[in-house]
C-alpha cells in the first residue's frame, strides 16, 4: 500500500484550518455579545437612579427620569399583547386544527411568515395610513395597533407549531368520549400545548418591547406623563432614539439607562421563555 504523505499532510492541514475558522466564527459571535452587553452595563449602570422611575423626561440640563416612557411602553405593550394574542391563537388554532393542508391554510401560513419578517417600519406606515391619517393626530391607540400587527404573526406561528406537536391520540380519546371538536380543542389541545403557547407570547412581548420604528409615526412621543390613549404617548424606544441623537450629554445618559432597561427586559423574557421550553421537552 502506498501512502502519499504529502496528500495526508495537506488534508490534515486544511482540516485544522477549517476547524480553526469555525471556532473563530463562534468566538466572533460571542465577542460581539460581550462587547454590547459590557458597554450597556458600563454606560447604563452609572445612569441608573431612583429618579429614573419617579420623574418624567426632562428638558436638557435638568434632572429627570423615564417614568412617562416606562409607563407608555408598558401600557402599549400590554394592550397590544392582550388584544393580539387571542387573534394569533385563534388563527394558529385554525391552521393546526381546521385548515391543515388546504390551499387556504397554505396561503395564510405563507402570508403570516412574510408578515413575521416584514420590515416593522412598513407595518408602521400601514397603521399611519389607516389610523393616524383618519384620526388626524398621533395616538397611543395607533401605537398599540402597530405593535399588535407585530404580535399577531409571532403568536400565530408559535401556537400552530405547538398545537401540531400535541399527539393526535389525545384528540381522538377526547372525541371518543363524545366531546365536540371545539371542546376538545379548548380543554385538551390548548391545555396540552399551554407551555409552548405561553413561550410564544413571551417571545412576542420581548419582540415588541424594543420595537421602535413603527412607534415613531404612530404613538410619536410625549414629554409628559400621559395615560390618554387618544393622545401621543411616550415609549422607551422612542425616547432612546430622540435622546441618543440629541447633542446633550445628560440626555445621552438617560438614553443609556433606557437602553439598559429595555435590554434587561428583553433578555429576561427570552431566557424565561427558553426555560419554559426546556421544561416542556
Partner 1 sequence: MADIALTEANANADLATRAEITRRAGRGDARFHFLTLAAAIVVLLIFSGVIISLVIGAFPAIKAFGLSFVSSSAWDPTDDEFGGLPSIYGTLITSVISMLVAVPVGIGIAIFLTELCPRMLRRPIGIAIELLAGIPSIIYGIWGLFVFAPWFQEHVQQPIIDATDGIPVIGSLFSGPPYGIGVFTAGLIISIMILPFISAVTRDVFETVPAMLKEAAYGLGCTTWEVMWRVVLPYARTGVVGGAMLALGRALGETMAVTFVIGNAHKIHASLFAPGTTISATIANEFTEATSKLYSSSLIFMGLILFFITFVVLAAAQLMLRRMERQAGAK
CB of residue 73 to partner 1, shortest distance in Å: 12
Smallest gap, in angstroms, from Cβ of residue 30 to partner 1? Answer: 6
Residues 216-246: b if buried by 16+ CB within 10 A, e if exposed: bbbbbbbbeebeebebbbbbbbbbbbbbeee
The Cα 111–Cα 104 span in angstroms is 11
Nearer to partner 1, 223 or 270 (CB): 270
Contact 267, 210 (CB under 8 A): no
- CA gap 202, 265 in Å, rounded: 11
Q: Give me the least distance between CB of 100 and partner 1, in Å please.
A: 12
CB of 25 to partner 1, least distance (A): 3
Distance of CA 118 to the CA centre of its chain: 13
Nearer to partner 1, 218 or 226 (CB): 218
CB of 71 or CB of 254, closer to partner 1: 254
For residues 60 and 81, give the distance between their C-alpha atoms in angstroms, rounded to a whole number: 34
Assign residue 2 a region (left: φ > 0; alpha: ψ between -120 and 50; beta: otherwise): beta
The least distance separating partner 1 from the CB of residue 134, rounded to whole angstroms, comes to 11
Cβ 147 to partner 1, closest distance in Å? 13
Cα Rg of the chain, angstroms: 24
The DSSP letter of residue 185 is: I
191 versus 274: smaller Cβ distance to partner 1: 274
Nearer to partner 1, 54 or 121 (CB): 121
Q: How far apart are CA 139 and CA 232, in angstroms?
A: 4
What is d(CA 184, CA 17) in angstroms, rounded to the nearest whole number? 56
* Euclidean distance between CA atoms 156 and 110, whole angstroms: 12
Closer by beta carbon to partner 1, 54 or else 194:
194
Helix (H) or strand (E) run with residue 169 in it:
helix 168-176
If the CB atoms of residues 75 and 188 are measured against partner 1, the closer one turns out to be 188
61 sits in the region (left: phi over 0; alpha: psi -120 to 50; else beta) called left
Q: Give me the least distance between CB of 262 and partner 1, in Å please.
A: 6
Amino acid at each position: 500500500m502506498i501512502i502519499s504523505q504529502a496528500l495526508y499532510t495537506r488534508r490534515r492541514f486544511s482540516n485544522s484550518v477549517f476547524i480553526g475558522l469555525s471556532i473563530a466564527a463562534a468566538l466572533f459571535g460571542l465577542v460581539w455579545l460581550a462587547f454590547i452587553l459590557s458597554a450597556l452595563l458600563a454606560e447604563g449602570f452609572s445612569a441608573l437612579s431612583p429618579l429614573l422611575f419617579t420623574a418624567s423626561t426632562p428638558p436638557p440640563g435638568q434632572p429627570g427620569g423615564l417614568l412617562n416612557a416606562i409607563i407608555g411602553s408598558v401600557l402599549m405593550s400590554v394592550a397590544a399583547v392582550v388584544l393580539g394574542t387571542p387573534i394569533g391563537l385563534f388563527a394558529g388554532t385554525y391552521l393546526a386544527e381546521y385548515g391543515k393542508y388546504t390551499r387556504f391554510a397554505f396561503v395564510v401560513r405563507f402570508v403570516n411568515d412574510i408578515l413575521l419578517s416584514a420590515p416593522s417600519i412598513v407595518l408602521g406606515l400601514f397603521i399611519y395610513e389607516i389610523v393616524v391619517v383618519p384620526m388626524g393626530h398621533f395616538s397611543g391607540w395607533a401605537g398599540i395597533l402597530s405593535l399588535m400587527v407585530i404580535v399577531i404573526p409571532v403568536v400565530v406561528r408559535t401556537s400552530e407549531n405547538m398545537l401540531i406537536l400535541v399527539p393526535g391520540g389525545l384528540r381522538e380519546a377526547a372525541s371518543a368520549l363524545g366531546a365536540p371538536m371545539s371542546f376538545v380543542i379548548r380543554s385538551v389541545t390548548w391545555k396540552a400545548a399551554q407551555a409552548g403557547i405561553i413561550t410564544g407570547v413571551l417571545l412576542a412581548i420581548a419582540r415588541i418591547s424594543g420595537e421602535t420604528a413603527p412607534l415613531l409615526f404612530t404613538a410619536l412621543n410625549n414629554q409628559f406623563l400621559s395615560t390618554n390613549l387618544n393622545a401621543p404617548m411616550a415609549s422607551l424606544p422612542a425616547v432612546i432614539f430622540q435622546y441618543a441623537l440629541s447633542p446633550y450629554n445628560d440626555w445621552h445618559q438617560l438614553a443609556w439607562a433606557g437602553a439598559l432597561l429595555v435590554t434587561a427586559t428583553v433578555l429576561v423574557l427570552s431566557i424565561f421563555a427558553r426555560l419554559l421550553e426546556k421544561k416542556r421537552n
